A and B are shown apart, each in its own frame.
Chain A
Amino acid sequence: MESTARAFKANVHEAIADANLQAVMKRFSEGFSAKRLLAVERLPEFEALRDAARDIKNHVLENLDLYLEQFESKVVESGGQVHWCTDAEQARQTILGICRDAGARTVTKSKSMISEEIAINECLEKEGIRPVETDLGEYIIQLRHEPPSHIIAPAVHLSKHQVADAFREHHTGYPSTRVLDDPEVMLAEARAVLRSEFLAADVGITGANMLVAETGSIVLVTNEGNADLTQTLPRVQIVVASLEKVVPTLEDATTILRVLARSATGQEQAVYTTFTTGPKRSDDADGPEQFHLVLLDNGRTDMLGSEFREVLRCIRCGACVNHCPVYAAIGGHAYGWVYSGPIGAVLTPNLIGIEEAGHLPNASTLCGRCENVCPMRIPLPRMLRQLRERQYAQNQAPKAIRFGLSGWAFLARRPSLYRVATAIGVATLGMVGRRKGRLRRLPMAGGWTTARDLPAPQGRTFQHMWAARGGRRQ
């Protein structure tokens, strides 16, 4: 998809002014995090499982070539094909070629972030092949021609009335006067519409939560069952997965599955977890005749060799998004590309360039909640800081920030000057704000004072007070 990350600031203003979005986000921020906490409290081994999950992925990344070769050989052994692709364009052409060979007219899709990353839907549509998203949330945003606003809850930004409007516009076989205000009724309608799409589809495209090197299996996790209908009913299955999805063994996949759903939605386990190995067997009663695995780099090997290697441990659970105060205030679309929240702020600059997405790593207070809840213990705040450093080093930070930072650095390296300057600053601000105890306006700090007052300093600087106490704790 086209990125609008460059327009992040305008996107944020729009999101804050959107009353409907703000109402939805208020409900959102209370849901997932409370459920995660309950699930974590029920499982004493949760922290140990996080450590184990992190160690598995670190081991994989260190030996990624070996595990991918092993995985490939097992896929081939089970009757499937592996298509290695270096970038999005090669992946799109590969998928398109398989669809053409299958004479595909309708393609069902199970929600997949990597397929958003390579914008496969637009590519298929241009060629006259109709992609149909089957995850309910993903289906709704496809009808509305929108990108997902959350990794695991793509339509979380919408009210039920907006969903009803989309159904009325597109489900033309239903009477226009029908009542559509009960989510249960809306779900029944979508289920019926999508069931006939499942049965009509020639090709099913899925992502993969994991790839298992030991057996050549893909692991797919859903609550709806749409991935299973997508990979069981059509004649041809295409799986799109990036390199880092591979894990060594079934036990390793199991360890990661024990932290995935708990971190994502607070479920003990997702409803459907499926290990799929190759196409249907000769005596199977159902399943696809062909199994294609599109194995995609698209920037992963660059990250593997950089200080961002650890972000490749990500299992796309969305816990960091669910706990991010910035995301809760602005929603997912403001981030301007496929991935939102803290993981988006790290991935997007790495995947489409820091010159395009430079605002994202700066839109963070570095509060650290994301790292606290990340099941794979990815140091997201450290990475946000590293992106800011990279931006500064590449001369891409805005002038005001560069000027401010150089000024501060000049003082910070000269302690006596620093003491004098801060003493003057504190005394001046304290005098100006003495009457009200707060400052309503401050030159060069409009970003702070347009939305709130700055408390006026009272008394002397911290260093003064520290010295007055003899430099000891009381």
Chain B
Amino acid sequence: MSDSRERVLGAIRGAVGRDSRSGAAAETVRHRLEHPPPNVVPMRGQLEIAGRIDLFIAEAERVNTTTARLGQWNEVPSAIAHYLKGVNLPASLRVATDPALQGIPWAEEPLLEITTGAARNGDRVSVTGAFAGVAETGTLVLLSGPDSPTTLNFMADAHIVVFPVDHIVGTYEEVWARIRSRFDSGTLPRSVNWITGPSRTGDIEQTMLLGAHGPRLLHVLLVDV
């Protein structure tokens, strides 16, 4: 195996006409890795917070995400109960143990049945937080971790995402900046999921259908802070 490694690397060096790690090239590479250039960042998302929130909602709805804004965290249980009634799904939730969701007074909505943990086969509705919302394309960013299992993002029929409006950034680059300040440099959680709308496929006669393997419904609750 290490033999193949040397053969491949040797073939590359032969092809680019440079023997092993020449100083200048290595220095250029090291510099780019340590100081990633932003390249071209579209203006679309570069807005003040109010504009970012409006753009996030507009872009999310363009891709079949539904959204609602809530004044306070304690409105979340009734908003979810109301939503599930509207889409005719059972009021049984699989909820992430995300600390941000811990303050939600679930008991105020006695009809909601709450369990927590990773998704199980057969769960119809999952509820998670989000690390960020990206205005430029209405994209949600979710990170895996002990309190945010990845399966919750993919296995249920409906995925409900609850987060405070100040998590909305304009561009993907701002997400990377926030992630770098949270984690050690050059390390990421196992999964960083960008989610832009509910699951879909066009594989049968190019007919767009929702709910291919992931959730058929994606509902975002934005809590004002």
Residues 39-56 of A contacting B (Cβ, < 8 Å): 43-45, 48-49, 51-52, 56
A248 touches B (CB below 8 Å): yes
Which residues of chain A come closer than 8 Å to B16, judged between CB atoms?
Answer: 61-65, 304-305
B203 touches A (CB below 8 Å): yes
Number of A-B contacts (CB under 8 A): 268
B82 touches A (CB below 8 Å): no
Q: CB < 8 Å: which of A59, A159, A281 contacts B205?
A: A159
Give CA–CA (A225, B121) in the complex, Å. 15
Residues 215-239 of A contacting B (Cβ, < 8 Å): 215, 217, 223-226, 228-229, 232-233
Give CA–CA (A268, B32) in the complex, Å. 27
Query: Taking CB as reference atom, which chain A residue is nearest B176?
Result: A250
Query: Taking CB as reference atom, which chain A residue is nearest B153?
Result: A228
Q: How many A residues, CB 8 Å from partner?
A: 103
User: Within the complex, what minimum Cβ distance (angstroms) separates A220 from chain B?
Assistant: 10
Which residues of chain A come closer than 8 Å to B38, judged between CB atoms?
Answer: 251
Which residues of chain B come closer than 8 Å to A250, judged between CB atoms?
Answer: 36, 176
A86 touches B (CB below 8 Å): yes
Q: Across the interface, do B214 and A224 meet the contact criterion of CB distance under 8 Å?
A: yes
Q: Across the interface, do B203 and A137 meet the contact criterion of CB distance under 8 Å?
A: yes
Q: Across the interface, do A68 and B188 meet the contact criterion of CB distance under 8 Å?
A: no
- Supposing A224-B214, A254-B173 touch, asked if A153 and B206 sit within 8 A by C-beta, the answer is yes
Which residues of chain B come closer than 8 Å to A155, judged between CB atoms?
Answer: 203-204
B74 touches A (CB below 8 Å): no
Q: CB < 8 Å: which of A90, A153, A273, A297 contacts B194?
A: A273
Q: Across the interface, do A271 and B193 meet the contact criterion of CB distance under 8 Å?
A: no
Q: CB < 8 Å: which of A51, A194, A233 contacts B151?
A: A233
Contact string against A for B residues 135-151, beta-carbon threshold 8 Å, 1 for contact and 0 otherwise: 01111000011100111
Q: Across the interface, do A90 and B205 meet the contact criterion of CB distance under 8 Å?
A: no
Q: Across the interface, do B40 and A86 meet the contact criterion of CB distance under 8 Å?
A: no
Enumerate 16 A-B pairs (CB-CB under 8 Å) in ascending A order: A84-B1, A137-B201, A155-B204, A163-B204, A183-B209, A214-B33, A223-B200, A248-B33, A248-B36, A249-B36, A255-B40, A268-B196, A269-B137, A271-B200, A301-B8, A304-B12
Binding site for B on A (CB under 8 A): 24, 27-28, 31, 43-45, 48-49, 51-52, 56, 59, 61-70, 74, 77-78, 83-86, 90, 134-137, 140, 153-156, 158-160, 163, 183-184, 186-187, 191, 194-195, 198-199, 213-215, 217, 223-226, 228-229, 232-233, 243, 248-252, 254-255, 257-258, 265, 267-281, 283-287, 295, 297, 301-302, 304-305, 309
